[in-house]
Amino acid sequence: MSQDKNENSQKDVQKLGNYLSKAVEDFFYSSPFHELLNGFQNIVSNQLNNAMASTEIREDETFLYVDVHVPDSFVNGEILVEVKSRYLHLSMRETVKHSESNYQKISSMAKSILLPYPVIQESMSTSWPNQNTMVISFEKTKA
């Protein structure tokens, strides 16, 4: 008898937990709070996507190219490119000064890219075929 009572108690607790879980889920998904959370998530996702510098590596017979897609917020900022052996280091910094006050916003990011083989920094050149893409090229060394 005691075992049946214990099993029934456990089932009642489980049912109560299921009801509570469903109530919380319904509250968050059917209320304005859900829209607020979704809006916040979209803002954060968009900001992260806008702040990322994607890169592509390609080559031909004489050059190794690294295409860097620079986020809009860094196009007019400072960009430092440094090479050490097989690593290409990018540092980007943007400072926005507000004219009404002494307030300034500084944003920065850094990225390191492993190249397929060592390159020589002195052979590096850069170009901007369009506003948001910087192409860094390295002349291949003759082995």
Domain containing residue 59: CATH number: 2.60.40.790
The percent helix, strand, coil of the chain (3-state, each to 5) is 35, 40, 25
- Domain of residue 12, residue span: 2-48
Q: Are residues 83 and 132 in the same domain?
A: yes
User: Per the structure, how many domains does the chain have?
Assistant: 2
Q: Are residues 85 and 107 in the same domain?
A: yes
Q: Are residues 13 and 59 in the same domain?
A: no
Q: Are residues 113 and 37 in contact, defined by beta-carbon separation less than 8 angstroms?
A: no
pLDDT of residue 115: 93
**pLDDT averages per 10-residue partition of the chain, 143 residues:** 70 77 68 64 56 85 93 84 91 80 78 91 92 92 68
Residues in CB range of 136: below 8 A, 6 or more apart: 65, 66, 68, 81, 88, 124, 125, 126
Q: Are residues 57 and 15 in the same domain?
A: no
Range list of β-strands (E), 60-116: 63-69, 78-84, 87-97, 104-114
Q: Are residues 67 and 110 in the same domain?
A: yes
Q: Are residues 59 and 44 in the same domain?
A: no
Q: Are residues 69 and 43 in the same domain?
A: no
70: exposed, middle or buried (Cβ count in 10 Å: 0-12, 13-18, 19+): buried
pLDDT of residue 95: 79
pLDDT of residue 20: 76
